[in-house]
């Protein structure tokens, strides 16, 4: 597969998922108001051989913000515990079709790994195509998932972790901070893009997290994430990691709920 193509088909994965140097990750994650447990669902039905990548636990442990990017050391330790090496290709899917899998695709790219793809249509398309799923996770798979989550905790507590087979090459230009967003509102050197749904962008739908205001960052434009930009040639777009949760919980930050800002349909 070309590293320039961000997705693979379920047919391609079905033909290749047993290759030793191809690792498959279930990166399902759901918003709080959905009240779904992704790990429990993974244990009920998963693509054969897939391991669970816990976005909430393989994350920065020093902040209350949800699933922020972990440190390079924590990511390397977690991925190594899952049995992934730099030579491996990685296919990521989720239980909604296209949602949280793209987040993990981005994480691997932030840490220098380009042989990573999102499964087009995710688990729903895999099952709709008639391909088999495993109805229970093996004890080895569960042990690797627990080891990955534990490794992150150990790194953040300054404890020694086992040898890491995955080496990171951090790409800081893939990430923007809160301060960079503030500065860009003044400088206007970049266009802010809001990848949430139009209803959330316009402020007419309630936010799924308690205490978070509705609306969008002033001056931003809405391109909902299923439409995507990478395949249009925008390959190095930085992501504001704190995202809407960080912005909207700062009471001093301006929030727009106007529908005048364009949003493609």
CA 235-200-221 angle, to 5 degrees, is 45
Cβ count near 3 (within 10 Å): 12
Q: Which of 119, 145, 131, 136 is nearest to 45 (CA)?
A: 136
Superfamily of domain 172-248: Rhodanese-like domain (3.40.250.10)
pLDDT at 262: 44
Residue 170's alpha-carbon distances to 25, 109, 189, in angstroms, are 21, 9, 24
Cα torsion 257, 247, 72, 191: sign: positive
Q: Which residues belong to CATH 3.40.250.10 in the chain?
A: 7-156, 172-248
DSSP for residue 96: T
DSSP state of 203: T
Question: What is the CATH topology of the domain spanning 7-156?
Answer: Oxidized Rhodanese; domain 1 (3.40.250)
With CA atoms as reference, report the closest residue to 75 among 156, 139, 174, 175. Answer: 156
Residues 25 and 46: their CA atoms lie apart, in Å, by 9
265 SS3 class: coil
- Supply the pLDDT for residue 227: 72
Whole-number Å distance between alpha carbons of 247 and 27: 25
Closest CA to 246 of 217, 205, 219, 206: 217
Tell me the Ramachandran region of residue 97: left when phi exceeds 0, alpha when psi lies from -120 to 50, beta otherwise: left
Render each residue's pLDDT in the chain as its tens digit; 265 residues: 556 789 999 999 999 999 999 999 999 999 988 999 999 999 999 999 999 999 999 999 999 999 999 999 999 999 999 999 999 999 999 999 989 999 999 999 999 999 999 999 999 999 999 999 999 888 999 999 999 999 999 999 999 998 899 999 999 999 999 999 999 999 999 999 999 999 999 999 989 988 899 999 999 999 888 777 776 677 778 999 999 999 999 889 999 986 544 444 4
User: In 3D, which of 106, 230, 115, 117 has the Cα closest to residue 176?
Assistant: 106
| pLDDT value of position 135 | 92
- What is the per-residue pLDDT for 9? 95
Lookup result for tokens 């390959």? 235
Whole-number pLDDT of residue 261 = 45
Which residues lie across from 193 on neighbouring strands?
A: 221
**pLDDT of amino acid 136:** 86
Distance (Å, rounded) from C-alpha 49 to C-alpha 66? 28
Res 231: pLDDT: 67
Element (H, E) at 22: strand 22-26
Q: What letter does residue 141 receive in the DSSP assignment?
A: H
Please say whether the beta carbons of 154 and 77 come within 8 A.
yes
């Amino acid at each position: 597969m070309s590293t320039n193509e961000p997705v693979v088909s379920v047919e391609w994965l079905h033909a290749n998922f047993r290759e030793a140097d191809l690792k498959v990750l279930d990166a399902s994650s759901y918003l709080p108001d959905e009240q779904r447990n992704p790990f429990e669902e993974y244990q009920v039905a998963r693509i054969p051989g897939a391991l669970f990548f816990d976005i909430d636990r393989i994350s920065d442990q020093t902040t209350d913000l949800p699933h922020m990017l972990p440190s390079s050391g924590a990511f390397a330790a977690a991925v190594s515990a899952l049995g992934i090496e730099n030579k491996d290709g990685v296919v990521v899917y989720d239980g909604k079709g296209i949602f949280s899998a793209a987040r993990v695709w981005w994480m691997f790219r932030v840490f220098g790994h380009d042989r990573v793809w999102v499964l087009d249509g995710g688990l729903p398309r895999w099952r709709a195509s008639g391909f088999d799923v495993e109805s229970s996770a093996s004890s080895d798979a569960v042990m690797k998932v627990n080891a990955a989550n534990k490794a992150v905790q150990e790194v953040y507590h300054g404890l020694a972790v086992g040898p890491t087979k995955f080496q990171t090459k951090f790409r800081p230009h893939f990430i923007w901070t809160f301060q960079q967003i503030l500065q860009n509102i003044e400088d206007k050197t970049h266009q802010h893009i809001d990848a949430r749904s139009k209803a959330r962008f316009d402020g007419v739908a309630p936010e799924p997290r308690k205490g978070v205001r509705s609306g969008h960052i002033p001056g931003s434009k809405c391109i909902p994430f299923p439409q995507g930009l990478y395949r249009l040639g925008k390959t190095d777009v930085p992501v504001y990691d704190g995202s809407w949760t960080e912005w909207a919980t700062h009471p001093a930050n301006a929030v727009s709920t106007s529908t005048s800002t364009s949003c493609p349909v």
